[in-house]
Amino acid sequence: MSETPDPEVIELASKVFDLARQGDAEALAAYIDAGVPVNLTNDKGDSLVMLAAYHGHAGAVAALLERGADPDRANDRGQTPIAGAVFKGEDEVVRTLLTHGADPEAGTPSAVDTARMFGKTHLLELFASW
């Protein structure tokens, strides 16, 4: 038996996903602190951390991770936030994720594979030293 989602819940989730894309760390933190699930995902399996990471918002990524978000949560395509950050060239986000325990070998392709694919040797060196 499937339930029809509450339109107000859908509206709130959409707002929170937009905050992650925009990098509004303070507002995101307030919503998580008020009870929004920190590992909330959209219809593609993208977590709040994935959206913030992919859009280059290290502060928002840190705020979510400090509240218990999973740094390695893969989306429905097997991509992790750190691999997305490598792909987008968001080195500060990569460092933030590593600091909070992200595994550069997780996901498909992994952050290591992505760095190799795009010749980002400085990130390969960072991963090797981590």
| pLDDT digits 0-9 by tens, 54-81 | 999 999 999 999 999 999 999 999 999 9
Domain assignment present for residue 108? The answer is yes
Band the pLDDT of 39: cuts 50, 70, 90: very high
Q: The domain containing residue 104 runs over which residues?
A: 7-129
Average pLDDT, the chain: 96
Q: How many domains does the chain have?
A: 1
Band the pLDDT of 103: cuts 50, 70, 90: very high
Domain assignment present for residue 47? The answer is yes
How far apart are alpha carbons 73 and 54 in whole angstroms?
13
Domain assignment present for residue 73? The answer is yes
CATH number of the domain at 23, please: 1.25.40.20
Domain assignment present for residue 17? The answer is yes
